[in-house]
Chain A
């Protein structure tokens, strides 16, 4: 069974540009999460989808970030316009069920560098 996949693995853009990250969860997983790790700091929650609905987006830093999950399958996270502080590793995770005891399965991350 394929795990969580993310594309691209790396992205280098200039300040002010737009970047779109993609996540494909494990097949059949209704729950999809985005996290971000800024260098040297902890991995922080951004948002949670249940199917195509945003269940919790309390971690989204500002309105330059837009996440979508059309059709409840893959998800995209767009940053527009990108700022220097957006650099970091963006992780996607998925889980079969919703609950704090549920294991979240993580992808390898997208390493974003904004110059």
Chain B
């Protein structure tokens, strides 16, 4: 069975500080990996995804994530947090044996002025 672990249900950072949101997955085969963001009263919006190729993936709003197969991780980073980054972030994986997404429990990011 697939599982996705997001360490830290709540993360707080100061404005301008590094954002690091952790995601680890369990999979016997390389998965496809996604990060979504949900702003209040909005749907989930794709930030970035990894399918194949370069393991460092750049997304919207200055976010990026690196697929590390040896660590089964896909952590999300942003060098400098902005107030507008305050939202809930979800890591998700999918595989060829079924195209449903398996989500982590989400991480709520607070940015402190």
Contacts A42-B103, A42-B104, A44-B103 given: A100-B95 contact, CB under 8 Å?
A: yes
> What is the bound-complex CA distance between A3 and B4, given in angstroms?
27
Least Cβ–Cβ distance between A108 and chain B, in angstroms: 4
A residues within 8 A CB of B49? 101, 103
Chain A residues near B101 (CB-CB < 8 A): 33, 35, 43, 45, 104
Q: Which of B31, B36, B41, B95 makes the CB contact (< 8 A) with A106? A: B36
Count residues on chain A whose CB falls below 8 Å from chain B CBs. 28
Contacts of A35 in B (CB 8 A): 101, 103
Instruction: Judge if A49 is at the interface, Cβ distance under 8 Å.
Output: no
Contact B41 A56 (CB under 8 A): no
- Cβ-Cβ contact count across A and B, 8 Å cutoff: 63
A48 to chain B, nearest CB (A): 6
Interface footprint category on B: 20 to 34
Contact A107 B43 (CB under 8 A): yes
The complex places the Cα of A109 from the Cα of B96 at a distance, in Å, of 26
**A98 beta carbon closer than 8 Å to chain B:** yes
Complex CA distance for A4 and B41, rounded to whole angstroms: 13
Partner of B105, one of A42, A99, A100, A107: A42
Query: Is the CB of A71 closer than 8 A to any CB of chain B?
Result: no
B32's partner among A40, A48, A58, A100 (CB-CB below 8 A) is A100
